[in-house]
Structure 1
Amino acid sequence: MQAPNSTSGIQASYDVAIIGAGPSGSIAASLLHQQGKRVIVIEKQDFPRFSIGESLLPACMRVIEEANMLEAVNKAGFQFKNGAAFSSKGKYTNFDFTDKFSSGPGTTFQVERASFDKLLADTAESQGVEIRFGESVQAIDLSQEPILTIRNREGEDYCIQAKYLLDASGFGRVLPRLLDLEKPSCLPSRTAVFTHIEDNIDPRVQENVHFDRQKILISVHPENKDIWYWLIPLSDSRCSLGVVAEPHLLGDAEADLQTVLMDMVKQEPNLHRLLANAKVVRECSLLKGYSANVTTLATDKFALLGNAGEFLDPVFSSGVTIAMQSASMAAKCVVRQLNGEKLDWDSEYAKPLMRGVDTFRTYVEAWYDGRFQEIIFFEAPDNKIKQMICSILAGYAWDETNPFVSDSERRLNMIVELCR
């Protein structure tokens, strides 16, 4: 749906309009503001608001620092994170993100996204970025410079004009919806059921099942490798808990979500023991058919950031990293275009961004078909190879000096054969 092709009634003009104040929107706005560009962010919801994607990757920290938000994040008291742990049929292994191939930070945080996203947005505002909360984009006109029709809290519509438009709307996927850019994902449709718990983990049980609060725990269902669980320790003795599976594998479709989730937890013995005293403290949520893709990532008038462009799967916590990386890459391109350069957005934004996304995709697909699980739980891993894989799990999926990035599919298959 497009706005009327008219410049009459435009309330204000900006260099860049950004849809969404989540991590990619706030980061992009900060980076553009630093370069002297006039930016407005339109956010449909009020912050804080709940979101999943709570386990950050170390590669995020470089972009957070680039946006001059690192001090605020470090001081916020989020749960320290230094790696990822995996459990399957009594086997346990972990990746220490400080022992990796790529340069860059090796630690990060696990965060309640409500407070994390608000912190980033508040920090962007403190830097001088204009954010309008509680307002939504109703229509777009791209016939000339982008014109956005926006509905305010009172239900009244107004228009603004921008020289460039960034969609950071996440699962809202505003531009794909308004401009008919949606296309099916290459990944099967899966469903996530999740909540927050007071974990009340008994220290004696914790020691026996190798639980480390400084790492996300990914557990595989003992009878079906397509089903997996996340347990993300947060800073207040709580955890984010979720299960991911194809819908038909989640048991009784008529049962309430909490029953579905806790029944699934009971099927994984170590996780069940670990959470024997857990108390659900947030209503369970459902996210289904979450994998998404688009026909176009960017043009000389708009670019899609993070989940607004493509979302793969939550298994390796890549969502926020892709969102922040896309914000950083897009902001640099926007500044160049606004400064008079002619850009090929496909070769200078879309393809470079997708190189990292496709690396993550290789590992997501290999996780579900079992190849990557064979590698993870191999009992005698080569340390150098593990460091290269660890870099990808730490978010450095754009580091082409890493052979497992530059030639991801072939290298992964080679290691599978060696493990076998």
Structure 2
Amino acid sequence: MKEVKSDVVIIGAGPAGAVAGALLAKKGWRVSIVEREEFPRFSIGESLLAQCMESLEKADMLEAVKSAGFQFKNGAAFEWDGARTAFDFREKFTPGCGTAFQVPRAKFDKILADEAERQGVKVYYRHSIVSADLSENDVKLIVEHKGENLAFHARFVLDASGFGRVLPRLLDLNRPSEFPLRESVFTHVEDNIVDSNFDRDKILITVHPSERDIWYWLIPFTDGRASIGVVGEKEKIAVWGEEPEQVLKGAIASAPALEKTLCNAKFDTNIQRIRGYSSDVTKLAGPGFALLGNAGEFLDPVFSSGVTIAMKSSELATECLHRQLSGETVDWDKEFVEPLKLGVEVFKTYVKAWYDGRFQDVIFYQTDQKEIKSMICSILAGYAWDKKNPFVAAAERRLNTLVEICTAG
């Protein structure tokens, strides 16, 4: 059996894997990425948050992304039954980048993977994990490629396999998510938008007029196309039909403002669905491994936090791993899991409050208190690890106090 040896093997060449690979290669470690698909390939999660730009800069990938011609993004717009509001990420509380991009993931992910390779990472496309034998400083993965098995040997493995969740499946780490079973139905369209109220520099989040736990995303790209999707509990969105096309078109027709915005759209791409995407695990790290991004816990697409969490997990994990490979003792729970969970739990607080309506009350409340709005804006921009922000440091308590003020008003 052919053998491949490296210091670290990463499962998955998406944003988490590519960023982790580049960060480790910059430190001088030999890195192999095992990727099941061939890039470019379709993926959702196309609206980046400003926090992502910080991670891309650390991985020396930001210039390649900036030069790719992606749609500029400076914030998020919200619409519900005639009410409209917007958040400009440049007006956030937390220092740092205040803009991002809307990206077709096929092109974006390929750029990141290519940049990782340029920095010395070896990417093995069309390679699928068969089994994993993990112990401290000794990792062995059996990988299938074109009908033959290969053995990948390393000192550590990072699982960045996204919804494939390779190690959680092989190591029996999966556990039910706290979130109810929801599904997304989505596609890309030639949007032909002429609506003067639509700002292509922002993602548009539309709330269903009567079912506030059903919402839509509209993400514009530079080429006159856009990503459109609806999210809701399976039983609720089934009222529009069984097939994905029936669900998506029926859902849009029930949201008058969104239907008007998309009145000239050409639906020319296959409509897809993902069910039961929220996930969780019993642990994020153990002897010889750590889980990055969606391979660990995925919350919900509502605030586009997936890629941000993925990249942040790559930053934290590679810092720990570099020290461990250099001979230091690392407490992965205290130095990786707990810092990562800080931001994840903040996002989780606001996701839950979105679906029960509390955070929607805050978002659509008209206020002149710019400082409070800037603090909320920081979270929407992805800066969920900024403990100087009161709405991060005491997320649930501060949010509930703000909800009381908004509902009373």
CA distance in 2, matches of 1:222, 1:260: 16
Partner SS for 2:6: strand
**Match runs of 1:361-372 below 5 Å:** 361-372=348-359
Alpha-carbon distance between aligned partners in 1 of 2:104 and 2:2, rounded to the nearest angstrom: 38
Offset of residue 254 of structure 1? 5.4
**Structure 2 matches for 1:4-403, cutoff 5 A?**
11-143=3-135, 145-152=138-145, 154-202=146-194, 206-207=195-196, 210-252=197-239, 255-403=242-390
Counterpart AA for 1:239: A
Q: How high is the TM-score relative to the length of structure 2?
A: 0.98
Alpha-carbon displacement from aligned partner over 1:150-209 (angstroms, at most 9, x marks no partner):
001x2111212110100000000000000000000011110100000111112xxx12xx
Moved over 2 A (4+): 251-256
> Match of 1:280, SS?
coil
For 2:357 and 2:385, locate their aligned partners in 1 and report how far apart those are by CA, in whole Å: 24
State the TM-score, normalized to the length of structure 1.
0.95
Unmatched tracts of structure 2, length 5 or more? none
1:37-78: CA deviation from partner (whole Å, max 9, x where unpaired): 000000000000000000000000011000001110000000
The aligned amino acid for 2:400 is N
1:98 aligned counterpart, secondary structure: helix
Q: Corresponding residue for 1:4?
A: none
Task: Give me the whole-angstrom Cα distance separating, in 2, the residues matched to 1:279 and 1:12.
Answer: 47
Secondary structure, aligned partner of 2:7:
strand
Instruction: Provide the C-alpha distance between the structure 1 equivalents of 2:135 and 2:238, rounded to a whole number of angstroms.
Output: 49
Gaps spanning 5+ residues in structure 1: where?
A: 1-8
- Percent identical among aligned pairs is 56
Q: Deviations over 1:316-352 (max 9, x none)?
A: 0000000001011111110000000111101110010
Going from structure 1 to structure 2, the CA distance change for 1:254 and 1:123 (only over 3 Å counts) comes to: same
Q: Distance in 1 between matches of 2:367 and 2:389?
A: 21
Q: Tell me if the contact between 1:299 and 1:346 (Cα under 8 Å) persists in the aligned partners.
A: no
Secondary structure of residue in 1 paired with 2:168? helix
Give the whole-Å Cα distance in 1 for the aligned partners of 2:269 and 2:168. Answer: 31
Q: CA offsets, 1:82-106, max 9 Å, x none?
A: 0000000100000000000001100
Q: How much has 1:381 moved relative to structure 2?
A: 4.7
Per-residue deviation at 1:260? 1.3
Aligned residues: 406
| Partner Cα separation in structure 2 for residue 281 and residue 94 of structure 1 | 29
SS in 1 for 2:286: coil
1:252 Cα deviation (Å)?
Answer: 4.6
What secondary structure is seen at the aligned counterpart in 2 of 1:218? strand
Secondary structure of the structure 2 residue equivalent to 1:134: coil
Aligned-residue offset at 1:256? 2.3
Query: Which letter does structure 2 place at the counterpart of 1:116?
Result: F
Q: Do 1:300 and 1:343's aligned partners in 2 also have CA atoms closer than 8 Å? A: no
Q: Structure 1 residue 146: deviation in Å?
A: 1.1
